[in-house]
Structure 1
Amino acid sequence: MSKLLRRKAIVTGDAQPAEHRLARTLSWPHLVALGVGAIVGTGILTLIGVGADRAGPAVLISFAIAGAICACAALCYAEMATMIPASGSAYTYSYSVLGEVFAWVVGWSLILEYSLVVATVAVGWSGYAVAFLHGLGIVLPDALTHGPAVAGSLMDGTFHLTASGVNLPAILIIAVVAGLLMLGTKESATVNTALVVLKIVTLALFVAVALPHFDPANLKPFAPLGYGSTPGADGVKYGVMGAAAIIFFAFYGFDAISTAAEEAKNPERDLAIGIVGSMVACTAIYMIVAAAAVGALHYTAFANSPEPLALILRGIGQPTVSTIVAAAAAIALPTVLLAFLYGQTRIFMVMARDGFLPTNLARVSKRGTPATITAVTATFVAFIAAVTPLDLIASLANAGTLCAFIAVAACVLIMRRRDPNRRRPFRTPAVWIVAPAAILGCLYLFTSLQAVTQKSFFVWNAIGLLIYLGYGLARSKASAPVTT
């Protein structure tokens, strides 16, 4: 039991061996752009259709609820990231505060979050790219634009394949982003910043064109499926809270900033600015875009569309602007891929340093990037993106994220009790309200996920614990319990 609960003394990036040391090249504007690039993406460009299908026009409330819960979690992340300026995000914080077995569970859950987010965004990007090419008269074979279509459930034995296919565009975009990350962190951040600006301009264009078409009649009935979370015949949970559980995916991404702790020039200042600043900006953007979307066209017309904003523009007689938005989305959505693939590789790198993965995966290239683990991670997520439906992987990614958010909020509360006088460059305001709100909100959102998602999450972590007990426990480099 002492091994399971041993806590690791955190070694910051500057104290790492040369072969494991990352270059400090990022300033706070890079981090804000990284956060905005991660947060503003698939959630508003593609998942707004899924959310509208589950909640109707009341998806606006779903956005507000998910955003409020994420804001509480973001404040907790800002405190932990500035107090422990080391790569690894929630995994690292859990290792130093909760203990090794909890760190493993969080790290294993983060594989769900980051890897499946990359896969989800790649699938979403594919939908916009295919639509854009179609507008230019280029039609790709249907079997190369989506993964296999399935029906039924694994749980009751009715699961079966209804259509075959491989999402080739999703594979290609992951390969391009992985190549950019291996080229260099500063170079990646510069490209990311430029694409984030393009993405914000695109959303502003959508609002400017769609808002004049706002019709209050499109908001009726406002909440056709209720305000709670009600399971449908297909196993999907409908209603405002059911939609919030999937739209939650649209708001996180700020946690990717915390993985950049060892590459930030001034982590104690820049991490807090990046995390809090990106959340504030993105919440405002989301509410404006969502209101323009559901007001311009009745939700039934774009529910579950892979490119809802472009579809809305076509529906209000703006095919040219629709093509522009589809093109800009195809160009700018990779910022989300870049942010989350970046975060995933840094978490894997820290787990490799700790002995939970082969140590040679933690080596950095001459350009100061973990090239090997980036290539391995990209291959893994490309396979997922090629063969998995969008709504399933988005929902499962949410489960992993909720676990990480709960862990970070718990770490904040424990450290306030365990070490109240420790230096905290950023302090979570009203911590005994904000942190519990993050924990309870995340727990409630988890109960609002599909039953198959909840079961899959527990199965995933059961497999993870077996791997930890059989492989990770003996190879852990933590020699003895330590205090932090």
Structure 2
Amino acid sequence: MFGPRKSLDSVTKHAEGHALAKTLSWPHLIALGVGAIVGTGIYTLTGVGAERAGPAVILAFAIAGAVCACAALAYAELATMIPAAGSAYTFSYAALGEKVAWVVGWSLVLEYSLACSTVAVGWSGYLVGWLTAAGIHFPPELLAGPHAGGIINLPAVFVALGVMGMLVAGTRESATLNIILVIIKLVALGVFVAFALPAFDGSNLEPFMPYGFGSTEVGGEKRGVMAAAAIVFFAFYGFDAVATSAEEAKRPGRDLTIGIIGSMLVCTIIYMLVAIAAVGALPYQQLGNSAEPLALVLRSLGQPVAGHLIALAAVIALPSVILVMMYGQSRIFFVMARDGLLPRSLAKVSPRTGAPTRITLITGIVIAAVAGFFRLDEIAELANAGTLLAFIAVGACLMVLRRRAPDAPRLFRCPAPYVVGTLAILGCIYLLFSLPSATILRFLAWNAIGLAVYFAYGWRHSEVKRQALPA
């Protein structure tokens, strides 16, 4: 019903010229995770979340983090058990079958490509704010897409293409640069908390839940804690990008566990501190209307220099998120092509760098185009839908493989796997249906297109099916 499954033995065996080079160790993987997680979500979606939930955006961050923690535990077990590129797509292929794997992979394409585009748009907002504060002005038509009365968001396009160039240069070089960018981001957020937390005013938290807990329609917009959780959820994922690097990890058993769980712990602590400091220092109504809420808080507190530096740090360091997400996107495409579900010619790696150059170029151009013409909030919501489906699949894979392959080596064992897997699935389903109806319809349309592509090409060229045919 769900198509053929890959055997656990075959998942890590690849033809010459189609295997990725092992170049990453655990510091690179933690930085990949933190680099992906700490980005537009905390720098810009803090304001979007405050608009939807009021001060209870703090609670929205906690709920989204709890759901992601369950998914992270499942990812850690599966990534160390199946150390191959492809993350949730590869896990689903081994546990649930080819058709489910295709839907998950197609959804991951949506997740990573739109996440990259969202961050590029957020980066553009910080760049424009920083340049304007410095007295530098550009034509507004080149700073926003058609939805905002412009022609194209040129800064977003440029940053996407620049990151693409870095990835083409090689995985290890990109990952090392990412470590530097991550350090800049963490220092900047530490500076923000140090300035904003002393200005905490309890009256800014009243009323704490102006739109209630559940996700409800208010004035044509989804409001409430769960509506905010469904959007700030974007701020947490990124640890799954670590799982896409499994094939390139030098010691996957140790390195992947540290990378996935370590990055989630670090980022959850950071997010709670930043959210409390931001909402406590400034009324949520002001935060909700800003494309650069953290810099706005500092400027409102009479710290223009610190606000300027925070915005500059975002401009310098947010490209690390684009780098990690584009990296993850290219690996998903690469593995789908290697499996024959997309043209296998795309699954070639560079003899010099051991990275999939061709697929990276295609990925970067598509991401730049989306970033140039679409709105940040709509992109983020649609990216979240793809991620939530992938997390649901990973929760199911965890439980299916515990039952189907109980004795398979597991270098990290998720505690209470059936409880964790069930909580991940139920939490993600709830968040998925907390998204706007239009987003869910777009997501269904995207997967309808994906299934058409699969039946037109993928199922006839599947490498697993080909190998199963009698000689």
Q: TM exceeds 0.5?
A: yes
Matched to 1:308, the amino acid is: P
After superposition, the C-alpha distances for 1:135-177 in whole angstroms (9 at most, x for unaligned) are 221111111111121xxxxxxxxxxxx7232000001001111
| Secondary structure at the counterpart of residue 9 of structure 1 | coil
Aligned to 1:454: 440
User: Do 1:13 and 1:22's aligned partners in 2 also have CA atoms closer than 8 Å?
Assistant: no
2:121 is the alignment partner of 1:135: no
Listed as ranges, the matches of 1:32-431 within 5 Å are: 32-149=30-147, 163-234=149-220, 236-365=221-350, 366-431=352-417
The 1:192–1:451 alpha-carbon spacing in structure 2 relative to 1, beyond 3 Å, is same
Matched to 2:292, the amino acid is: E
The 1:191–1:12 alpha-carbon spacing in structure 2 relative to 1, beyond 3 Å, is farther
Matched to 2:188, the amino acid is: T
Report how far residue 306 of structure 1 moved.
1.2
Matched to 2:307, the amino acid is: S
- Per mean C-alpha deviation after superposition, the further-off stretch among 201-210 and 131-140 is 131-140
Taking the aligned partners of 1:315 and 1:326, their CA distance within structure 2 comes to 14
**Structure 1, unaligned stretches of length 5 or more?**
150-161
Report how far residue 212 of structure 1 moved.
1.2
Matched to 1:284, the amino acid is: I
Taking the aligned partners of 1:470 and 1:11, their CA distance within structure 2 comes to 29
The 1:344–1:11 alpha-carbon spacing in structure 2 relative to 1, beyond 3 Å, is farther
The 1:265–1:411 alpha-carbon spacing in structure 2 relative to 1, beyond 3 Å, is same
Matched to 1:281, the amino acid is: V
The 1:13–1:25 alpha-carbon spacing in structure 2 relative to 1, beyond 3 Å, is farther
Taking the aligned partners of 1:238 and 1:11, their CA distance within structure 2 comes to 47
1:470 aligned to 431, 456, 463, which one?
456
The 1:304–1:107 alpha-carbon spacing in structure 2 relative to 1, beyond 3 Å, is farther
| Secondary structure at the counterpart of residue 237 of structure 1 | strand
Matched to 2:46, the amino acid is: I
Matched to 2:241, the amino acid is: A
Taking the aligned partners of 2:73 and 2:379, their CA distance within structure 1 comes to 27
Matched to 1:21, the amino acid is: A
User: Do 1:310 and 1:325's aligned partners in 2 also have CA atoms closer than 8 Å?
Assistant: yes
Report how far residue 9 of structure 1 moved.
2.9
Report how far residue 17 of structure 1 moved.
2.6
Report how far residue 10 of structure 1 moved.
5.0
| Secondary structure at the counterpart of residue 372 of structure 1 | helix
Taking the aligned partners of 2:465 and 2:448, their CA distance within structure 1 comes to 25
CA RMSD of aligned residues (A): 1.4
Taking the aligned partners of 1:14 and 1:445, their CA distance within structure 2 comes to 33
| Secondary structure at the counterpart of residue 238 of structure 2 | coil
Matched to 1:176, the amino acid is: G
User: Do 2:140 and 2:150's aligned partners in 1 also have CA atoms closer than 8 Å?
Assistant: no
| Secondary structure at the counterpart of residue 176 of structure 1 | helix
Matched to 2:299, the amino acid is: R
Taking the aligned partners of 2:182 and 2:260, their CA distance within structure 1 comes to 16
User: Do 1:181 and 1:338's aligned partners in 2 also have CA atoms closer than 8 Å?
Assistant: yes
The 1:481–1:183 alpha-carbon spacing in structure 2 relative to 1, beyond 3 Å, is closer
Aligned to 1:23: 21
| Secondary structure at the counterpart of residue 47 of structure 2 | helix
Aligned residues: 467
Matched to 1:190, the amino acid is: T
User: Do 1:6 and 1:480's aligned partners in 2 also have CA atoms closer than 8 Å?
Assistant: no
Percent same amino acid at aligned positions? Answer: 59
Report how far residue 349 of structure 1 moved.
0.4
After superposition, the C-alpha distances for 1:87-122 in whole angstroms (9 at most, x for unaligned) are 000000101110010001001101110000000000
Taking the aligned partners of 2:8 and 2:16, their CA distance within structure 1 comes to 17
**Structure 2, unaligned stretches of length 5 or more?**
none
Aligned to 1:159: none
Report how far residue 130 of structure 1 moved.
0.9
Taking the aligned partners of 2:371 and 2:159, their CA distance within structure 1 comes to 10
Aligned to 1:157: none
User: Do 1:148 and 1:389's aligned partners in 2 also have CA atoms closer than 8 Å?
Assistant: no
After superposition, the C-alpha distances for 1:43-62 in whole angstroms (9 at most, x for unaligned) are 10000000000000000000
After superposition, the C-alpha distances for 1:404-423 in whole angstroms (9 at most, x for unaligned) are 00001100101111111111
| Secondary structure at the counterpart of residue 464 of structure 2 | coil
Taking the aligned partners of 1:460 and 1:15, their CA distance within structure 2 comes to 31
Report how far residue 15 of structure 1 moved.
3.7
User: Do 1:72 and 1:437's aligned partners in 2 also have CA atoms closer than 8 Å?
Assistant: yes
Aligned to 1:152: none
User: Do 1:12 and 1:86's aligned partners in 2 also have CA atoms closer than 8 Å?
Assistant: no
Matched to 2:445, the amino acid is: V
- Per mean C-alpha deviation after superposition, the further-off stretch among 242-251 and 20-29 is 20-29
TM-score (norm 1): 0.94
Report how far residue 13 of structure 1 moved.
8.5
User: Do 2:342 and 2:457's aligned partners in 1 also have CA atoms closer than 8 Å?
Assistant: no
Taking the aligned partners of 1:472 and 1:453, their CA distance within structure 2 comes to 26
